[in-house]
């Protein structure tokens, strides 16, 4: 009898302990789930300095740990995008009601809510080049957003601009203005080119504080000419100049041949002439220009839509993603 009672007591103790252990596991699991939810909610897209489109989906990318997160708040395919000056407001275009619509989202807060902003009164095809089937960039400048449209084979470029004023909530339409687009996209204007850039004997120089620094004397452009395209070879010329955020580096294009469009490669160099580097994967015929990061590195895509980061200080190129159709830094 005493033996039976002892066994029952042991069974009761085991059941109580096991129940307490399961209860503890459930509580731990609930705490873990809560922590995960809080961790997800705390993610801000502003923690990611680069964003890119792949198959119509927007991803934000952090270089420190090579982490990317998807912009889950938008279910429609995104065509192109841009950021305001502070990088806190995301602007992007989608097709809505058979028209191209501008949308916005405050990415400086968790779980941002996209909002319709304005109907561009344009079709998606209106804003695509017929050379490489590339979308017009969405350019943010001085409180305005710019879309280019109306491709023409006569100029191999767009012929119109739609300019949306955020403050006035109005769209103005103008003839394409190369200098306006050049300035808005961050390239040196004609006046600044004359001030800082000099081209002599197939070499490029940057002039600052009365110093004349050669940017190309260590680059072998002749080795990059394609023999099959010899009929299109031209004397080397340079174009598309832009300075890094700290003004110590310069991006420029080197034109090696000319068909319907100029072809060649983008290059990077320090403005003092050091660390010269050719981005051999690039082609000047594309409208996907390389862009500067705040770190003074450069991001670009090749002809197969692979996305890279280039650092001329380390003479290195790092692949970031594939199937990238558009990209922008914030």
Summarize pLDDT for 51-99 with one digit per residue, the tens. Answer: 999 999 999 999 999 999 999 999 999 999 999 999 999 999 999 999 9
Phi, psi of 287 (to 5 degrees): -95, 5
Chain mean pLDDT for the chain: 89
Summarize pLDDT for 156-182 with one digit per residue, the tens. Answer: 999 999 999 999 999 999 999 988 998
Asked if 319 and 308 count as a contact pair (C-beta separation under 8 A), the reply is yes
Task: Measure Cα distances from 42 to 29, 63, 323 in Å.
Answer: 20, 19, 29
Summarize pLDDT for 265-324 with one digit per residue, the tens. Answer: 999 999 999 999 999 999 998 888 999 999 999 999 998 999 999 999 999 999 999 999
HSE-up of residue 221 (Cα within 13 Å, Cβ side): 23
Kindly state the tokens that stand for 56: 């119509």
């Amino acid at each position: 009898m005493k033996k039976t009672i002892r066994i029952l007591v042991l069974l009761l103790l085991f059941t109580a302990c096991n129940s307490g252990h399961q209860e503890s596991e459930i509580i731990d699991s609930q705490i873990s789930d809560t922590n995960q939810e809080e961790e997800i909610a705390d993610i801000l897209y502003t923690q990611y300095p680069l964003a890119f489109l792949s198959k119509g989906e927007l991803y934000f990318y952090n270089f420190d740990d090579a982490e990317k997160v998807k912009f889950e708040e938008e279910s429609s395919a995104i065509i192109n995008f841009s950021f305001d000056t502070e990088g806190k407001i995301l602007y992007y275009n989608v097709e809505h009601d058979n028209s191209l619509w501008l949308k916005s989202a405050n990415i400086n807060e968790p779980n941002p809510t996209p909002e319709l902003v304005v109907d561009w009164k344009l079709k998606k095809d209106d804003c695509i080049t017929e050379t490489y089937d590339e979308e017009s960039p969405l350019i943010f400048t001085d409180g305005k957003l710019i879309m280019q449209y109306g491709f023409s084979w006569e100029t191999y470029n767009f012929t119109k601009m739609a300019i949306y004023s955020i403050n006035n909530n109005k769209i103005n339409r103008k003839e394409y203005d190369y200098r306006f687009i050049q300035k808005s996209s961050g390239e040196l204007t004609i006046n600044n080119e004359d001030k800082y850039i000099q081209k002599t004997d197939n070499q490029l120089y940057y002039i600052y504080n009365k110093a004349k620094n050669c940017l190309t004397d260590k680059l072998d452009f002749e080795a990059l000419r394609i023999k099959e395209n010899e009929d299109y070879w031209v004397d080397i010329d340079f174009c598309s100049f832009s300075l890094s955020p700290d003004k110590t580096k310069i991006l420029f294009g080197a034109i090696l041949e000319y068909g319907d469009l100029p072809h060649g490669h983008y290059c990077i160099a320090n403005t003092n002439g050091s660390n010269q580097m050719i981005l051999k994967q690039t082609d000047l015929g594309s409208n996907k220009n390389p862009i500067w990061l705040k770190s003074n590195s450069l991001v670009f895509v090749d002809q197969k839509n692979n996305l890279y980061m280039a650092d001329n200080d380390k003479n290195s190129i790092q692949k970031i993603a594939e199937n990238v159709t558009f990209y922008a830094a914030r």
